[in-house]
Structure 1
Amino acid sequence: MAAVTPAPLRPVSRAGRPLMRAAGLLAVGALVLAGCSSPKNQVTVDPSAPASAGEGVAPELAEFYEQQPEWTACGDLECTTVVVPIDWEEPGGGSIELAVNRSRATGGDRIGSLLTNPGGPGASGTEALETVVIQRMGAGVKERYDLVGFDPRGVGKSHPVECVDGAEMDELVAFDADYSTPEGLEDVEARYGEFAAGCLERTGEVLEHIDTVSAARDLDVLRAVLGDEQLHYLGFSYGTALGATYASLFPERVGRLVLDGALDPTLDSDAIAAGQAAGFESALRAYVTDCQAGKSCPLEGTVDEGLAAVADLLEDARRNPLETTDPERPLTASLAFAGIAQTLYANTLWPYLTEGLTGAIQQRDGSRLLQFADLYYDRDPDGTYGSNTTEAFWAIGCADDRATTDPDEMRASAERMVEAAPTIGRFFGYGGVVCARWPVPEAGGLDSYTAEGAAPIVVIGTTNDPATPYVWAESLSDVLSSAVLLTFEGEGHTAYGRSNECITGAVDAYLLEGTVPEDGTRC
């Protein structure tokens, strides 16, 4: 049996419950060669300028901006920790440490540090740097930048959010919610209420301060500690919202920012869930079309009939969960959807979806889809979870924005999602239940995300991205005053390093020479 390459985690709502804020780690995809050209503009960055990185900060923040972390060897990389305030409104009230690692520039003409974020929210940037990000970078970028990964507050090794044990997480992600009655809705809210109480008990006061705005302020400390006057940054998926938030807070400190797989932070959680429902439906339709054009596809008939077969499978799993190789873990509808979603992040993973659907539809064997669901949730075979990505995903989402908890409004919204996405739309509704009993106040976002005065920012969208639909790249490029839109015409989540040489060349030219792609360039 071939090994499955895990697709990136997760700008999708948790199966059976809606998304708080888009997520997503790096998708895995094959390179397709193509060409494009665009006029040249320049971002002026002087790599030889003296580093007055902490200039102009408030006196009460000086200790954070002026700290000198000690770097130690960690495998082929260097690692350190950087201290930031727990509460940016009261910087003297306690601090936390952020885990940071870097790969030093291999050449002599160094530009500076390039901070990277793989998405989520909840994905570990230090792990991603080591396992995915470095491999995605062009040779010139690796020569001239220190590539830097970091775990945002609440994630990975940076005071991680902790809520439940492995068995409790198993139960939660497998649960098929019933929103059809007031009693069913109450039961779902109670389940997430218990999860939320566990987050506060196990995480403590940091739970109230893991929002995106706080994480963006942390980014500015990282910039200063690394000795850069401006922030050079590459963010994927949710990392684009983090980057856009930074640009809006510190427009004068924006260097070369690339936001790939764009999430527009002005969208509320209901709009994000609706967009993703349509996005995953479109990606699933593209998969079915491709599957039926090949051999041994378990989805017969027309494309619509193939989609109907997937819908029937999900309904079958809801009514009577499928057996798997683990007798204690049958495949529920929620797990089946997570397994399907996992394979839609990149079209190179579609053959694995065919394997999973073949077993589920023809033999009622849910083992393969359960394996994909476990990859999605980062669950290990021994029943433990390899990271806190799921807990952080929900917690950061509840910190940033909370959907309505009014039953009638949730029902109407859910009906619109099913209308837009008949096959999988029901897995994106009722977003308010997750945060309905969240034990700390909502932090919220910014009043404006225009980032007036920022240097040119490159926003990248993929035309059939399931997790961050292309319309979000269009809207984010409109919201950011200095943004230019670079488009990859293709399938899958994010583009740089997994699409074609046109995208790679445009991004590398921007990062290395400051050459800004013409707004509207398509690859």
Structure 2
Amino acid sequence: MTVGTALALVATAGFAPLDEWGHARSFYGQHVDWSPCLTADEIAGAGPVEGDPDWRARLECGTVTVPVDHGDPNGRTIELAVVRHPAQGPAEQRRGSLVFNFGGPGRAGVAQFESGPLALSRRVRDSYDLVSFDPRGVGESAGFTCPAWDAMERPLEAVEDVAPADVDHDRLQDLESAARRFTWSCLDEVGEEFLANMGTVNVVRDLDLIRDALGDDRLTYAGFSYGTYIGALYADMYPENTRALVLDGALRTRRGLIDDGVEQSRGAQTAWEAFVAYCLEGAPECPFTGAEEAPGEAEALLAGLDRRPLVVRGQRIDRHEMLTLLRDSLHTERQWESDAHLLARIALGDTRDPFVQAYLGRFVDGRNESPGAEESAFMAVRCADHEPPGGVRAYQEGAERAARSSPFFGGDDVWSYLPCASWPDAESAARAPSAPMAPPLLVVGTRNDPATPYAWAEELADQLATATLLTYEGGGHTAYAGGRSCVDAAVDAYLLDGVVPEHGASCPGAL
């Protein structure tokens, strides 16, 4: 459903006063009307659920009404989709809701729950209603797709093999024109008002309405990646409504988009080098002969894919597709052994190996799911949250820095933010929330995180007045609820008993 359609379906509220944060008071006092998320036929069609066959049958869905513009309570409203897995313990053990945001921006919480159970301890599942939501503009919460969401694909492909400093005027113009087409198509799809209110400050206001509608006096929350910014800003804006917040895989709040892109590139390079070390030291198969030789050997493998791309389910896997796959898979430490095996098979020319075909097939299938929707929401939030960084030359300079920071992955992180240069003005949130009045908060950082560098977790823990940092000394993007027993035990103790880890606490890597 497009935003325009969704907005037309919801009646507007009558006049209501605003609180100090611009919140329309009349939107408090709602109650979620829960009903099963899936029919019996939908559950059967979704296939088996590993570890908990009744997970999907227990899921309940509902909605919470929020204003598009919290400063205009008489204006348009939307329905936010909310999902709940009820607590499984006895009534005397239940503590209310534990709300999750899985990052992005653009990740849909309802779909995440429907995909299968969260890897949480029995005590957490017994104690809390597990809750998530689709943020505004995402999934079932008036989600949308900008018609020209892929406008930059060809211009980006044209500079993939060109050093950023060598990108000529014509290619820069192509990139800039494509970025504008992306932006204009978003404006045509949902309108300037909606885009101007997609920023995190409004997601946080929505989250407080969700907390109230759930019947919780204070929020218990776990935010991953971008979800850490939501949580940090919530603690700053609503400290009196905050109980316990886990901020795992911290997003930087102080810097601009271009600097973010440069540092994300550096984080991806750090994670790649950690993967190479694991490959050489612990993987059953590895295509590399040594740390010094690995860059040249990886380049030879990628060059071979340029000469003879793999074809999987009718789609080509060349150098750049492989780089995308590797960068994505660095997010999940458990996949590193499979990545090493994949690269070893390709290096040997054994590309018809059933494992290779199956592994690449899953990548192709995942790339084709809901094309454009997550990309559109991601750009809408990131652009709304940041001041425009300047013209195309500023991005070129940033791409140069990113390419120096990440010789393996290059400067695409910076180029991809070009639509923000032409984005409409939006309300911006605090750039460095400190939450001085919040209760103790927990930041979790992964040493070799490919998406949100560990330095960002250190910075957020220092920035938030009441935060403690827990370090996972391994790899992957985020650490809690990922099968890492040390991390899970420390976070569970915080969520359930209010026990904060000691200063400098860390957990060993799993590989």
Q: TM-score range by the shorter chain?
A: 0.7 to 0.9
Residue of 97, 120, 129 corresponding to 1:137: 120
Q: Secondary structure at the match of 1:428?
A: helix
Secondary structure at the aligned position of 2:377 is classed as helix
TM-score normalised per structure 2: 0.81
Which secondary structure state, in structure 2, belongs to the residue aligned with residue 135 of structure 1? Answer: coil
3-state secondary structure, aligned to 2:24? helix
Query: Does the 8 Å contact 1:124/1:152 carry over to 2?
Result: yes
CA distance change for structure 1 residues 173 and 181 in 2, over 3 Å: closer, same or farther? closer
CA offsets 1:68-106 (integer angstroms, 9 cap, x no match): 331112232111011101011212211011000101112
Report the counterpart of residue 5 of structure 2 in structure 1: none
User: Is 1:83 aligned to residue 70 of structure 2?
Assistant: no
Counterpart selection for 2:207 from 198, 219, 235 = 219
Shift of the 110–368 alpha-carbon distance from structure 1 to 2, 3 Å rule, reads closer
Query: What's the CA shift for 1:358?
Result: 4.2
CA 1:302–1:363: 2 relative to 1, 3 Å: same
2:46 alignment partner in structure 1: none
Residue 165 and residue 437 in structure 1: after superposition, are their counterparts in 2 closer, same or farther (change >3 A)?
closer
Larger mean Cα displacement after TM superposition, 162-171 or 205-214:
162-171
Deviations 1:131-152 (A, max 9, x none): 35x4322211111111101000
Give the partner amino acid of 2:261: A
Q: Give the 5 Å matches for 1:235-384.
A: 235-293=223-281, 294-299=283-288, 301-314=289-302, 322-326=309-313, 329-358=315-344, 361-363=347-349, 371=361, 373-374=363-364, 378-380=366-368
Secondary structure of 2:422's match? coil
Q: Which residue of 2 aligns with 1:429?
A: 414
| Displacement after TM superposition at 1:157 (Å) | 0.8
Of 77, 87, 94 in structure 2, the residue corresponding to residue 110 of structure 1 is 94
- The answer to which structure, 1 or 2, has the higher relative contact order (CA under 8 A, 6+ apart) is 1
CA contact (8 A) 1:162 1:203 kept: no
Return the match for 2:459 from 470, 475, 492: 475
Letter in 2 for 1:90: D
Task: Write out per-residue CA displacement over residues 422-451 of structure 1, whole angstroms, 9 at most, x where no aligned residue.
Answer: 22233333355232333x224333154011
SS at match of 1:303: coil
**5+ residue gaps, structure 2:** 1-16, 38-56
Contact 2:252/2:456 (<8 A) preserved: yes
8 Å CA contact 1:357, 1:369 repeated in 2: no
Aligned to 1:95: 77
Measured after TM superposition, the shift of residue 63 of structure 1 is: 2.5
Kept in 2, the 8 Å contact 1:488–1:499? The answer is: no
The answer as to 2:144 corresponding to 1:161 is yes
How far the C-alpha of 1:62 sits from its partner, in A, is: 2.8
**Displacement of 1:501 after TM fit?**
2.4
AA of the residue aligned to 1:197: W
Hey, what's the Cα distance between the residues in 2 that align with 1:201 and 1:58?
29
The residue matched to 1:79 in structure 2 has which SS?
strand
- Residue equivalent to 1:39: none
> Are 1:512 and 2:496 matched, yes or no?
yes
| Deviation at residue 172 of structure 1 after TM alignment | 8.1
Unaligned runs of 5+ in 1: 1-53
Identity %: 35
Contact kept? 2:18, 2:25, Cα under 8 Å: no
Larger deviation, residues 501-510 vs 113-122: 501-510
Q: Which amino acid aligns with 2:177?
A: A
2:33 maps to 70
Of 460, 473, 480 in structure 2, the residue corresponding to residue 496 of structure 1 is 480
Q: Distance in 2 between matches of 1:396 and 1:321?
A: 38
Q: Which residue of structure 1 aligns with residue 381 of structure 2?
A: 396
Q: Would the alpha carbon gap of residues 347 and 100 (structure 1) be closer, same or farther in structure 2, given more than 3 Å must change?
A: same
Is the 8 Å Cα contact of residues 471 and 505 (structure 2) preserved in structure 1? yes
On the 8 A contact 2:259/2:398 being kept in 1, the answer is no
Contact 2:148–2:185 (CA under 8 A) maintained in structure 1: no
Alignment check: 8 A CA contact 1:414 1:426 kept: yes
Residues 394 and 423 from structure 1, CA distance in 2 versus in 1: closer, same or farther, beyond 3 angstroms? same
The amino acid across from 1:184 in the alignment is R
Task: Tell me the SS of whatever aligns to 2:451.
Answer: coil
Shift of 1:371: 4.2
C-alpha change, 1:516 and 1:297, in structure 2 (3 Å) is closer
Secondary structure at the aligned position of 1:436 is classed as helix
Q: How much does 1:268 deviate?
A: 2.2
Cα displacement (A) at 1:369: 7.9
What SS class does the counterpart of residue 429 from structure 1 fall into? helix
Deviations 1:500-522 (A, max 9, x none): 32221221111112122223211
